[in-house]
Structure formats: C-alpha cells, structure tokens
C-alpha cells in the first residue's frame, strides 16, 4: 500500500500510521462522506505538528480535489472544545498553503473547502452520529452568527454505524482491534492486553497484513501513547493540587490581614494553626 506522502515518526499513532496510507484513507473517507473516489485519486497529506496534541499525533489533514479534510481519532471522551480547536487548526492550515502576498491582491483567491470529522472509539456512550458547532460556545446566543464551524462526530465502536463499517473494511477492522484491546484490559496488563489482541486479530484475519508486518511497532506505539497520556494526567493533577494549595495560602493570608484569629482561619481553611501563625 502506498503512503500518501506521509512521514512516519515517533509521534504518530497507530491510527495515523494506518490511515496515512492512501488506499486506506480513501476507503475510509469514501465510507464516511458517501463519495466514490477511485483508488488513483490524488491525496496530499498536510497534517500539522503539535497543534491539537502536544505529544501524540491523532489527526490527519489532507487535500482531496478541492476539499481540505481534517480527520481525528478520539479514544477518550469527546472534547467539547473540538470546534474551537478545529478553528485554530484550519487557520494554520490555510496560512500554510496560501501565498500570503495574494491576500493583498484585489482578485479573490480560492481555498479548499474545509471538512471536519472526528472518529470516536472511546468507552463512554455516544450516538452513532452527532454534530458539534463552534456557535455553541458563543457567549451571546441571541445574536446573529457571523462565523460558525461544524464538526461531524461518528461513533466507530463495534455495533455502531454498520453502513460505514460495511463500506470500509479497514475502518471496521481497526475498530475491532481497539475493541479487542479494551476487552483484554479488563483482565490483563497493558502490555499483555496489546500482545494478546495482536495475536487474536491476526488469527481472525483482522488487519492481517498490517499487524503481521508491523505488530511489534504497533505494540510499542500503543504503549508509548498510553504512557504519554498517563504522564499528562499526572502533570494535570499535580498542577491542580499546586493551584489549590496556592489558593488556600492566599485566602489564609487575606483572612489574617483582616485580623481574623488563627484558630478561625485554621478551621475554615484546613491548615494547621502553627502554619497560619507563621504566615
């Protein structure tokens, strides 16, 4: 299979590696969009680095004919700020592909029509399909909208969107692979869950050639991705804890400045009395 001018690196996810191949990408997009692009259709992948995700690359941006499509996989709960993140993303994409000098010419320039797709295969319940709109984030809901952006969210978990699955065997098999891992994780360590899923899927001819050829790399990529997510969650939790501690100290100092007793401050804030007295 030909990779659609995509460069594989340590930040790629299994999703971007698998669907960075032109044949797989076209098959999946045809199923999602209802189009029927032939296999020789030119696809140019123009994914940006470090825009939506700091560590792991879960997005594929590509130009096909006169469209600029942003395709993202979500294995966690859907981020309600996705339309806003897509707005930032598409602005960067247009900045990348447009000659800045042409912006100041009188003649109107044409740009690829954008399309935003999220593929959800997380554990929380989601409908087959939903739309997220940038306008849902606007402060003034009763005002006319002069800007909006729509993100199409498809649930690709096993048992959902059967019509799409039927049209794209690769997308269907990828969902089965992820489902197999998630099932194993209920009783196994991460390492064993992935190894067992790879063997089981090869035996059932799910992503057969891909996993047979790249099984060890797939295993390493998935474990690296999970380790990155764990590290980010720890950093977030530490940041929240530090922020809460600073807030308590600031409140205690303010109360002390207003001549409240150390006993009262200690009871309200929850800090030891001796720490309050040392402030």
Are 69 and 201 found together in one domain? Answer: yes
Are 149 and 255 found together in one domain? Answer: no
pLDDT tens by residue, 132-148: 999 999 988 788 889 99
Identify the domain containing residue 235 by its residue range. Answer: 14-240
Three-state DSSP state, 110: coil
Q: What is the pLDDT of residue 209?
A: 93
pLDDT tens by residue, 39-58: 899 999 998 876 544 344 67
Are 88 and 155 found together in one domain? Answer: yes
Are 38 and 121 found together in one domain? Answer: yes
Segment 15-32 shows an average pLDDT of 94
The three-state (H, E, C) secondary structure of 191-204, written as one string: HHHHHHHHHHHHHC
Are 204 and 130 found together in one domain? Answer: yes
Q: Minimum mean pLDDT among 46-50, 121-125, 232-236, 267-271: which range?
A: 232-236
Are 267 and 185 found together in one domain? Answer: no
In angstroms, rounded to a whole number, what is the distance separating the alpha carbons of residues 279 and 273?
10
40 close to 81: Cβ distance less than 8 angstroms: no
> How many C-beta atoms surround the C-beta of residue 191 within 10 A?
11
Residue 78 in domain: yes
Are 227 and 254 found together in one domain? Answer: no
Residue 67 in domain: yes
Are 76 and 155 found together in one domain? Answer: yes
Residue 136 in domain: yes
Three-state DSSP state, 131: strand
Are 80 and 168 found together in one domain? Answer: yes
pLDDT tens by residue, 216-238: 889 888 877 665 555 444 444 45
State both tokens at 70: 């942003």
* 74 — pLDDT class (breaks 50, 70, 90): confident
Are 24 and 78 found together in one domain? Answer: yes
Contacts by residues 73-79 (CB-CB < 8 Å, ≥ 24 positions apart): 73/13, 73/15, 73/16, 73/118, 73/119, 73/121, 74/118, 74/119, 74/120, 74/121, 74/122, 75/121, 75/122, 75/178, 76/122, 76/229, 77/122, 77/124, 78/118, 78/120, 78/122, 78/126, 78/132, 78/153
Segment 186-198 shows an average pLDDT of 92
In angstroms, rounded to a whole number, what is the distance separating the alpha carbons of residues 231 and 69?
30
Q: Which residue has the tokens 């709960």?
A: 77
Q: Mean of the per-residue pLDDT values for the chain?
A: 82
Residue 1 in domain: no
Sign of the dihedral defined by the CA atoms of residues 187, 190, 192, 197, in that order:
positive
Are 67 and 173 found together in one domain? Answer: yes
84 close to 134: Cβ distance less than 8 angstroms: yes
Whole-Å CA distances, 106 to 102, 109, 134, 243: 9, 9, 30, 51
Residue 9 in domain: no
Residue 6 in domain: no
Percent of the chain with pLDDT over 90: 48
Q: How far apart are the first and last CA of the chain?
A: 67
In angstroms, rounded to a whole number, what is the distance separating the alpha carbons of residues 68 and 112?
5
* 103 — pLDDT class (breaks 50, 70, 90): confident
* 183 — pLDDT class (breaks 50, 70, 90): very high
Residue 223 in domain: yes
Q: How many domains does the chain have?
A: 2
Alpha helix positions (H), the chain: 14-19, 22-33, 82-97, 162-167, 169-185, 190-203, 208-257, 262-269, 273-277
Segment 149-159 shows an average pLDDT of 94
Are 130 and 155 found together in one domain? Answer: yes
Q: Does position 75 have pLDDT exceeding 90, yes or no?
A: no
Residue 4 in domain: no
Q: What is the pLDDT of residue 229?
A: 56
128 close to 160: Cβ distance less than 8 angstroms: yes
């Amino acid at each position: 299979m030909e990779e659609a001018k995509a460069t594989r690196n340590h930040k790629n996810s299994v999703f971007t590696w698998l669907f960075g191949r032109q044949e797989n990408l076209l098959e999946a997009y045809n199923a999602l969009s209802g189009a029927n692009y032939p296999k020789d259709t030119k696809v140019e992948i123009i994914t940006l680095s470090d825009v939506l995700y700091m560590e792991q690359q879960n997005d594929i941006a590509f130009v096909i004919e006169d469209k600029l499509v942003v395709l993202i996989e979500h294995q966690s709960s859907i981020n309600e700020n996705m339309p806003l993140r897509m707005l930032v993303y598409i602005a960067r994409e247009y900045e990348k592909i447009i000659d800045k000098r042409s912006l100041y010419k009188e003649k109107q320039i044409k740009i690829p029509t954008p399309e935003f797709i999220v593929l959800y295969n997380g554990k929380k319940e989601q409908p087959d399909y939903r739309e997220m709109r940038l306008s849902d984030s606007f402060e003034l809901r009763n005002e006319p909208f002069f800007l909006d952006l729509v993100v199409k969210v498809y649930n690709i978990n096993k048992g959902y969107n059967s019509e799409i699955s039927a049209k794209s065997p690769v997308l269907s098999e990828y969902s089965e692979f992820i489902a197999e891992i998630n099932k194993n994780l209920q009783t196994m360590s991460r390492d064993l869950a992935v190894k067992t899923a790879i063997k089981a899927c090869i035996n059932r001819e799910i992503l057969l050639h891909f996993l047979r050829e790249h099984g060890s790399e797939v295993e390493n990529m998935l474990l690296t991705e999970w380790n990155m997510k764990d590290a980010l969650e720890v950093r977030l939790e530490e940041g929240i804890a530090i922020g809460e501690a600073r807030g308590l100290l600031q409140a205690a100092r303010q109360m002390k400045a207003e001549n409240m007793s150390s006993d009262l401050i200690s009871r309200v804030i929850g800090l030891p009395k001796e720490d309050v007295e040392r402030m």
